[in-house]
């Protein structure tokens, strides 16, 4: 284990951190379970479900530990909100070490699932698979700056097929006050909650799945928040009065001045002088850059007169190796914002994608094997708790230095232990039956 930074060993800080989180659990007997579970999430293991965690954290009494953790996560009547509040209290000062919180990032993530009994599972788009399939989807809100980000609100999306199924709701323990809400509605609730909770404010960043809805963007503005919102090629705007290229003039002739134009049509009508190559981040192995254009527009999302709709930025990305523009954003950042800052803010959404990659691959966010509402959210809360500690430890190092390594050491595992469903390497194979053999 690396030498400590800032006094006291890392393991001691981890224990003190978990003890603080456990102070809101309402039952002292849950402290040991929380410490064991979060420790297990940080240990090297292919699976971070209850049974492997029990074997790693209590090798001498795996069965008893398994039952204890199963009850703690799946049925324990402790508050996710209470634990998340303690996580934020610990994490936000560490996030701000390298700069003020500048953005709130909305995203959702999917977890492939078999069957139909796990809460919220349905055939829907799964980002992890890149297609429609059986999965669960959760919506989250993260706070971020250029160096660090962390989910601060997290909730399962309950499809309408589940919301209207009383029998499945009861079996999965879905709270009675949880009704069907779209993902943008869930995200908006999280944003409103963050405002009421007094979290350090930032520019709201959303992809086109959220930004395409004018009502969603208007609600963000009503909260006096700025946004950079992805939109689709078909979103329409009132074009600016001056489009100088011949292609633009043709577009203007085909579309009356009072007729909105799609953002894609507007992008294709822009003169070459509108486009600039801008670098937005130094990647792990290369500098990330692309070609962008920006222009002031008025959104054509309602019947109000063009003059009554405030201007905002339309940001367009058109990589040099593509035949057409690939991404579009609308933004209420100020008219005087620099081109580079606008691009940088739009692209900062990569931080939550990085978080989810680590939460899934390193922490085991998608490894929960229970079927209930409570267990799904308890597991996610504990994963975020473990990840928040890593975030805090990394914040102790300048960005140019190496990040912290293992938090805890791997305890001994019983030689004969194997996760449920794994093959038994010591079992003698049963002779097969060959239907082609001679009798």
Quote the CA–CA distance of 297 and 14 in Å, as a whole number.
Answer: 50
84 in any annotated domain: yes
pLDDT the model gives residue 281 = 79
Residue-wise pLDDT for 295-351, tens only, equals 999 998 755 555 678 899 999 999 999 999 999 999 999 999 999 999 999 999 999
In which band, very low, low, confident or very high, does the pLDDT at 127 lie, cut at 50, 70 and 90? confident
In a domain, 416, yes or no: no
Supply 419's token pair: 């996760």
With beta carbons less than 8 A apart as the criterion, state whether 306 and 298 touch: yes
Q: What is the Cα–Cα distance from 373 to 181, expressed in whole angstroms?
A: 16
Q: Residue 286: inside a domain, yes or no?
A: yes
Say what the pLDDT of residue 245 is.
43
Averaged pLDDT, 86-92? 94
297 and 375 assigned to the same domain: no
Q: Where does a domain end: 348, 378, 409?
A: 348
Q: What is the pLDDT of residue 428?
A: 44
d(CA 316, CA 326): 8
What percent of the chain has a predicted confidence (pLDDT) above 70? 82
**98 is written with which tokens?**
């390298």
Question: What is the token pair recorded at 410?
Answer: 């791997």
Q: According to the model, what pLDDT value does residue 213 have?
A: 94
Counted domains in the chain = 2
Stretch 130-144: mean pLDDT, rounded? Answer: 93
Q: Does any domain span residue 430? A: no
The rounded distance, in Å, linking the Cα atoms of 57 and 54 is 5
Say yes or no: 203 and 251 in one domain. no
Residues 37 and 148 in one domain: yes
The answer on 179 and 35 residing in a single domain is yes
Residue 222 domain-assigned? yes
337 and 369 belong to one structural domain = no
Q: Are residues 192 and 136 in the same domain?
A: yes
**Residue 287 located in a structural domain:** yes
Query: Distance between CA atoms of 338 and 162, rounded to whole angstroms?
Result: 46
372 and 226 in a common domain = no
Q: Does residue 168 register a pLDDT over 90?
A: yes
Residues 188 and 313 in one domain: no
Query: Range of 320's domain?
Result: 211-348
In the predicted structure, residue 410 carries a pLDDT above the cut 50: no
- Answer whether residue 401 is part of any domain: no
Asked if residue 216 and residue 196 are part of one domain, the reply reads no
Decide if pLDDT at 115 tops 60. yes
- Same domain? For 215 and 341 the reply is yes
- Domain assignment of residue 5, yes or no: no
**Both 197 and 55 in a single domain?**
yes
**Listed residues 348, 383, 412: the one ending a domain:** 348
Instruction: Please count the other Cβ atoms lying within 10 Å of the Cβ belonging to residue 80.
Output: 16
**Cβ neighbours for 87, distance < 8 A, ≥ 6 positions apart:** 21, 152, 381, 384, 385, 388
Together in a domain, 153 and 242: no
pLDDT of 273 above 50: yes
- pLDDT greater than 70 at residue 397: no
Domain limit, last residue, from 314, 348, 382: 348
pLDDT tens-digit series, residues 195-210: 999 999 999 999 999 9
State pLDDT tens for residues 222-263. 999 999 999 999 999 988 764 544 454 455 455 545 678 999
Which tokens in the block code for residue 350? 């990569």
């Amino acid at each position: 284990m690396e030498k400590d930074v800032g006094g006291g060993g890392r393991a001691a800080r981890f224990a003190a951190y978990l003890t603080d989180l456990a102070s809101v659990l309402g039952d002292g007997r849950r402290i040991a379970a929380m410490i064991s579970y979060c420790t297990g999430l940080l240990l090297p293991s292919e699976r971070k479900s209850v049974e492997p965690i029990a074997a790693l954290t209590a090798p001498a009494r795996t069965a008893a530990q398994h039952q204890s953790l199963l009850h703690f996560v799946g049925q324990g009547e402790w508050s996710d909100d209470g634990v998340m509040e303690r996580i934020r209290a610990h994490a936000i000062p560490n996030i701000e070490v390298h700069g003020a919180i500048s953005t709130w990032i909305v995203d959702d993530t999917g977890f492939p699932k078999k069957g139909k009994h796990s809460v919220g599972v349905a055939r829907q788009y799964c980002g992890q698979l890149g297609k429609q399939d059986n999965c669960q989807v959760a919506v989250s809100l993260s706070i971020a700056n250029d160096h660090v980000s962390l989910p601060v609100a997290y909730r399962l999306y309950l499809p309408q097929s589940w919301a209207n199924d009383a029998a499945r709701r009861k079996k999965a323990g879905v709270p009675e006050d949880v009704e069907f809400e779209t993902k943008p509605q869930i995200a908006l609730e999280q944003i409103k909650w963050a405002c009421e909770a007094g979290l350090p404010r930032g520019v709201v960043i959303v992809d086109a799945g959220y930004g395409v809805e004018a009502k969603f963007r208007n609600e963000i503005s009503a909260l006096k928040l700025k946004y950079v919102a992805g939109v689709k090629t078909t979103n329409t705007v009132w074009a600016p009065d001056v489009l100088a290229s011949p292609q633009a003039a043709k577009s203007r002739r085909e579309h009356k001045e009072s007729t909105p134009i799609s953002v894609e049509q507007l992008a294709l009508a822009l003169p070459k002088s509108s486009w600039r190559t801008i670098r937005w981040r130094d990647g792990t192995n290369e500098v990330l850059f692309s070609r962008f254009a920006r222009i002031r527009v008025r959104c054509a999302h309602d019947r109000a007169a063009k003059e009554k709709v405030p201007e905002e930025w339309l940001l367009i990305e058109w990589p040099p190796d593509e035949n057409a523009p690939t991404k579009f954003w609308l933004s209420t950042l100020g008219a005087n914002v620099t081109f580079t800052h606008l691009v940088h803010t739009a692209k900062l959404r990569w931080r939550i994608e990085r978080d989810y990659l680590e939460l899934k691959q390193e922490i085991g966010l998608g490894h929960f094997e229970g079927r209930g509402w409570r267990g799904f959210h308890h597991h996610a809360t504990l994963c975020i708790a473990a990840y928040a500690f890593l975030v805090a430890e990394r914040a102790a190092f300048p960005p140019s230095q190496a990040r912290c390594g293992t938090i805890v050491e791997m305890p001994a595992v019983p030689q004969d232990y194997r996760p449920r469903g794994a093959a038994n390497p010591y079992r003698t194979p049963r002779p097969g039956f060959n239907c082609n053999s001679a009798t």
